[in-house]
A and B are shown apart, each in its own frame.
Chain A
Amino acid sequence: MRCILAALLFIPMLAVAVEAGQPAPAMDAPRLGEPGNLTLQSLRGKVVYVDFWASWCVPCRLSMPTLDGLHKRHADRGFAVVGVNKDATLGDAQRFLKRVPVSFLLARDDKDTVAKAFDVKAMPSGYLIDRKGKVRKVHRGFTAETAATLEQEVQDLLKEGA
């Protein structure tokens, strides 16, 4: 009995967070605002930044325009941003996007499948994935400092195997 109790204590810890150096988990999610699905497999060969965002997430107000700028500057060199929305309703997400329009790929995650696969520990969380599909850097939270380092990291990864 004591064993079961002890085991129960560890249930929330079963999911293992994705860290730098690990392969990116598979992702298959419906696109936000557009028909069709979005998979990480289809972006293999590109440097990808998977960002978990929501309208209720305050630092996302800063991260979304920053990521949009990154995407616009480096898209033609093989960089893609995937914004996974974590709002409870689609309306909340759309209202946010009206105020903060972005041009990168957006996905919905109503069933938390993608967030669970990455075991997201903070909002926003960003995962920088190299051309081979390996997570190279994890950003939890977002400040002006993150924006600066991210620019450099993306440039460095784009040089790899370009």
Chain B
Amino acid sequence: MKALALTLLIAVTGCANVAPYQRAHLARPDMAFESNLGVAKAMEKTFPAKEGASGGASVGGGGCGCN
């Protein structure tokens, strides 16, 4: 029972509801998945070339395979 309560407590504090009017917090630069967008773009481009495979990441463009 105690363990369950503890797990529950941790689980509950782990999530937060972000109300529509609180989205300013999500728009903060430090909330982005990538801290440096330029570097991330470069990695995204070189990674498939080095690995000999592409795909898996979200890619902009029409899918002509010419990147």
Q: Which residues of A contact B (CB under 8 A)?
A: 1, 5, 8, 12, 52, 54, 56, 86-89, 92, 109, 112, 115, 120-123, 125
- Which residue of A has the minimal Cβ distance to B1? A1
Complex: how many Å from CA A1 to CA B2? 12
* Total CB contacts across the A-B interface at under 8 A: 38
Residue of A nearest to B22 (CB): A112
Residue contact B25 to A88, C-beta cutoff 8 Å: yes
A124 vs B25: C-alpha distance in the bound complex, in angstroms?
16
Q: A56-B27, A88-B25, A88-B28 are in contact. Are A121 and B20 (CB under 8 A)?
A: yes
Q: Which of B4, B20, B25 contacts A122 (CB 8 A)?
A: B20
Q: Is the CB of B23 within 8 A of A123?
A: yes
Interface centre among B8, B19, B27, B28 (most CB of A within 10 A): B19
Distance between Cα atoms of A115 and B21 in the complex (Å): 7
Contact status of A120 and B19, CB under 8 A, knowing A1-B4, A8-B12: yes
Let me know if B35 is at the binding interface, CB within 8 A: no
Contact status of A56 and B24, CB under 8 A, knowing A1-B4, A8-B12:
yes
For this complex, 14 residue pairs linking A to B, each with C-beta atoms less than 8 Å apart, are A1-B1, A8-B12, A12-B17, A54-B21, A56-B27, A86-B24, A87-B24, A88-B24, A88-B25, A88-B27, A89-B24, A115-B21, A122-B20, A123-B23
A92/B24 in contact, CB under 8 A:
yes
Q: How far is the CB of B64 from chain A (nearest CB, A)?
A: 31
17 more A-B residue pairs beyond the given contacts A89-B24, A122-B20, with a C-beta to C-beta distance below 8 A: A1-B4, A5-B8, A8-B8, A54-B23, A54-B24, A56-B23, A56-B24, A86-B21, A86-B22, A87-B24, A88-B27, A92-B24, A120-B19, A120-B20, A120-B21, A121-B20, A123-B21
